[in-house]
Amino acid sequence: MSNLPSPKQTLKIIDGMLPDYVVKKVEERLLAYKEGFADNTNRARAADYRVFKTWCDKNGLRPVPSTPEDIERFMWERVQQKKVDKITGEVKLKKDGKPIYEQIKAVATVERNLATIKYMHDVSYEVMQDLTDPYENAAKLKNPADTRRVRIALRAIKRKFRSKAQRQAAPIRLDLMEEIISTLTDSLRHTLYKALVSVAFDSMMRCSELVNIDLDHITFEDDGSAKVLVPFHKSDQEGEGSYRYLSSTSVTLIHNWITMAHIEEGLLFRSVNKANDVLDSMHKDRVAKIYKVIARLCGIKASTISAHSTRVGAAQELVTFGATMPELMLAGDWKSSAMPVRYAKKINVDKGAMATMSKVRGRS
């Protein structure tokens, strides 16, 4: 530890670029913590940090430790840019001569970027505290991503772009589900599509969970239904697992698929190539593409449909049926009520006090 700086150099080092030995310690700590988070979270953090570091390098700034001012500037440049005339290449101006800005990234993306920046600083400051003497003031450091200035900047961004809030996927509810199943043919590929979308609706699984369903995970019941084990999912980082319900309709579609695909063991959902060969697996990104194909085949605007459409639709059906919030959260594997409330928002309008009063008073 003799090569460590003296306590008097602490503030100077914190204010400047972190020395190599500290950077190495931070990288080791990040790797040690990596196993405690889902793969998607780790990938997102890595991508977010690359974006922030690239921006810092371009502007001659340090990513860690950063400053509230730099983070605020990054956020605004991330979410908007000056609008340019496609013909002349000149920046478009308002009547007062100020440039016109257009949104280029979703507010949710900026929020995620900010969460990553905060996490990186948390870990860096934690490492500096662990180095004790040379960083005796590290415990007093305020995370720049968690300052009032940055929080207000994020609030301002949300207010400015509130009319362009993150778009919710159009729901695939039961009536649309029936239309999809009746529209698709009995070909190998369409048989896969029908089984996939039906299981996705019943189980409310995410893409990464759907493509990891193993035949051994399914228990078929005497009444024609089934239950499927989800051994590991987004909100179950300890791997305790949970079971989801599958209707008799889904069970029938599963049997049709595995019979045509000659699947007797292993993964349930597998891609079909152009030669109509069944592959060994399916990448989770393929699920979203299948939903787009289904939408086009059924005459639905593909841009409104996503891999979340079955989760949204199933949530709305459960709300209509009268499911309580705890029941809804359990069915969709949500840790908080934020997303199910958002999914059910439009449905709740029809069940609200004004809707109820209007029906009773003959105004519906």
In DSSP notation, 223-289 reads: TS-EEEEE-S-TT-TT---EEEEE-HHHHHHHHHHHHHHT--SSBS---B-TT--B-S---HHHHHH
Per-residue pLDDT band for 163 (boundaries 50, 70, 90) equals low
Check pLDDT > 60 for residue 15: no
At 71-127, the pLDDT tens digits run 999 999 999 988 888 888 888 988 888 888 888 888 989 999 999 999 999 998 888
d(CA 194, CA 211): 15
The residue-averaged pLDDT of 260-272 equals 96
Percent of all residues in the chain with a pLDDT value above 90, rounded to a whole number:
50
| Structural domains of the chain, ranges and CATH numbers in brackets | 7-164 (1.10.150.130), 174-356 (1.10.443.10)
The residue-averaged pLDDT of 353-360 equals 63
| pLDDT at residue 17 in the model | 56
Edge-to-edge order in the sheet of strand 226-230: 218-220, 226-230, 242-246
Residue scoring higher pLDDT (103 or 257):
257
Contact by Cβ (8 Å): 281, 263: no
94-98, 131-135, 229-233: segment of lowest average pLDDT: 131-135
d(CA 227, CA 207): 18
Please count the residues of the chain. Answer: 364
Residue 111 to residues 63, 74, 153: CA-CA distances in angstroms?
Answer: 17, 12, 11
Q: What is the DSSP letter of 84?
A: B
22-26, 35-39, 233-237, 332-336: segment of lowest average pLDDT: 233-237
Parallel, antiparallel, or unpaired: how do β-strands 226-230 and 101-103 relate?
unpaired
| pLDDT at residue 7 in the model | 40
Residue scoring higher pLDDT (346 or 289):
289
Containing H/E element for 217? none
| pLDDT at residue 54 in the model | 94
Per-residue pLDDT band for 228 (boundaries 50, 70, 90) equals very high
The residue-averaged pLDDT of 295-320 equals 90
Q: Helix (H, G, I), strand (E, B), or coil: what is residue 258?
A: helix
| pLDDT at residue 167 in the model | 61
Sign of CA pseudo-dihedral 61, 64, 67, 71: positive
Check pLDDT > 80 for residue 209: yes
Percent of all residues in the chain with a pLDDT value above 70, rounded to a whole number:
84
Check pLDDT > 50 for residue 5: no
Check pLDDT > 60 for residue 236: no
Identify residue 9 by its one-letter amino acid code. Answer: Q
Q: Can you read off the two tokens belonging to residue 334?
A: 């949500």
Q: Is the peptide bond before 65 cis (omega within 30 degrees of 0)?
A: yes
Residue scoring higher pLDDT (222 or 138):
222
The residue-averaged pLDDT of 187-208 equals 95
Mean pLDDT over all residues of the chain?
Answer: 85
Per-residue pLDDT band for 277 (boundaries 50, 70, 90) equals very high
Check pLDDT > 60 for residue 44: yes
Q: Which range scores top for mean pLDDT: 138-147, 163-172, 176-185, 230-239?
A: 176-185
Check pLDDT > 80 for residue 322: yes
pTM: 0.65
| pLDDT at residue 121 in the model | 92
